[in-house]
């Protein structure tokens, strides 16, 4: 684990269980907007992305809830948590008995948060640092999890064909989305939905109904 990234994560967060998923404890922002603004400013100075890793987004929490309640979804499988952020879905898959779990992230702070969060929950998760979409050939995952990933147009346009290709190659692909702008309008079947408590400042509302969807 890179010490300076981990030190930064520890200093800016508090170990806590996110609403909806009390089984998992994570290093998360103590007060959402304070940390978002403080950290975003600090990171921006260094040309780094905003601290997505300091929050368990509704998509990740819905996926974790679904997997913990339906452990057969992940049990015995090679699982990829794509764009894992704090790693909540990856940790749920590990707790559910996945054969292996890999979390992919392009943000080094998220990878440091992931490592700390795995230690806090006593699980082992591998990491893919960098853009897993560019890997050729793609590894043969049995299950791909993608929580809250359709929030930006360029990213959504890039990952949707990739996720469909992984499904065509044999992976089960679960997406969880709380109503982001660029969620594809077709090709996804709903398998669960949750009313996820959210921070009013971060999400403009206190509940986000979040659907778990499967590529059909
Ligand atoms: C809104 S957060 C969601 C995090 C987590 N899945 C959750 O639901 O809590 C989106 C994350 O996607 C990551 N990300 C963006 N593009 C990526 C890519 N090409 N590969 C891996 N991660 C990526 C960002 O760094 C960020 O942590």
- The pTM for the full model equals 0.95
Domain extent, residue 66, equals 3-215
CA-to-CA dists, residue 203 to 34, 97, 178, 180, 207, angstroms? 14, 32, 10, 11, 9
Given a cut of 90, whether residue 46 has pLDDT beyond it is no
For residue 155, give the ligand 1 atom closest to its CA: 16
pLDDT digits (tens, 9 = 90+) for 93-139: 999 999 999 999 999 999 999 999 999 999 999 999 999 999 999 99
113 lines ligand 1 (CB under 6 A): no
Query: Residue 104: CB within 6 Å of ligand 1?
Result: yes
| The pLDDT of residue 199 | 84
Split into its structural domains, the chain has a count of 1
Q: Does the C-beta of 83 come closer than 6 Å to ligand 1? A: yes
Q: Report the percent of the chain where pLDDT is more than 90.
A: 83
CA–centroid distance, 82 to ligand 1, in Å, is: 7
- The pLDDT score that the predictor gives to residue 48 is 72
Predicted pLDDT at 2: 61
Q: What CATH number is associated with residue 50?
A: 3.40.50.150
Using one digit for the tens of pLDDT, what is the confidence trace for 64-86?
999 999 999 999 999 999 999 99
**C-alpha to C-alpha distance for 161 and 184, rounded to whole angstroms:** 10
CB 133 near ligand 1, within 6 Å: yes
To test the ligand 1 pocket, which listed residue (19, 85, 128, 213) has its Cβ within 8 A of the most ligand atoms?
A: 85
Query: In this predicted structure, what is the pLDDT of residue 89?
Result: 98
Tell me which of 51 and 84 has the higher pLDDT: 84
pLDDT at 212 over 60: yes
Please give the Cα distance from 15 to 148 (Å, whole number). Answer: 22
When pLDDT is averaged across residues 14-24 and rounded to a whole number, the result is: 97
Write the pLDDT tens digit of every residue in 179-188: 999 999 999 9
Count Cβ atoms within 10 A of the Cβ of residue 214 and give its class: 0-12 exposed, 13-18 middle, 19 or more buried.
Answer: middle
* Ligand 1 centroid to residue 104 C-alpha, Å: 8
Name the residue of 43, 105, 162 whose CB sits within 8 Å of the most ligand 1 atoms, as the mutation to test its pocket: 105
Q: What is the pLDDT of residue 3?
A: 66
Among 56, 103, 106, the mutation site with the greatest number of ligand 1 atoms within 8 A of its Cβ is 106
């Amino acid at each position: 684990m890179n010490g300076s990234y981990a030190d930064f994560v520890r200093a800016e967060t508090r170990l806590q269980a996110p609403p909806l998923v009390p089984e998992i404890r994570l290093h998360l922002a103590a007060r959402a907007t304070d940390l978002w603004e403080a950290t975003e400013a600090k990171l921006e100075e260094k040309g780094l992305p905003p601290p997505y890793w300091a929050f368990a987004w509704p998509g990740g929490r819905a996926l974790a809830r679904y997997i913990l309640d339906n452990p057969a979804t992940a049990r015995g499988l090679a699982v990829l948590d794509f764009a894992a952020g704090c790693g909540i879905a990856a940790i749920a898959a590990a707790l559910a008995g996945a054969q292996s779990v890999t979390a992919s992230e392009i943000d080094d702070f998220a990878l440091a948060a992931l490592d700390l969060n795995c230690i806090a929950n006593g699980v082992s998760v591998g990491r893919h640092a960098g853009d897993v979409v560019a890997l050729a050939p793609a590894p043969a995952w049995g299950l791909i999890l993608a929580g809250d990933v359709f929030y930006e147009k360029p990213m959504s346009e890039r990952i949707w064909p990739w996720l469909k290709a992984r499904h065509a190659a044999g992976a089960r692909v679960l997406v969880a989305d709380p109503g982001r702008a660029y969620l594809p309008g077709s090709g996804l079947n709903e398998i669960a939905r949750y009313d996820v408590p959210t921070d009013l400042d971060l999400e403009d509302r206190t509940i986000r109904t979040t659907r778990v969807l499967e590529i059909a």
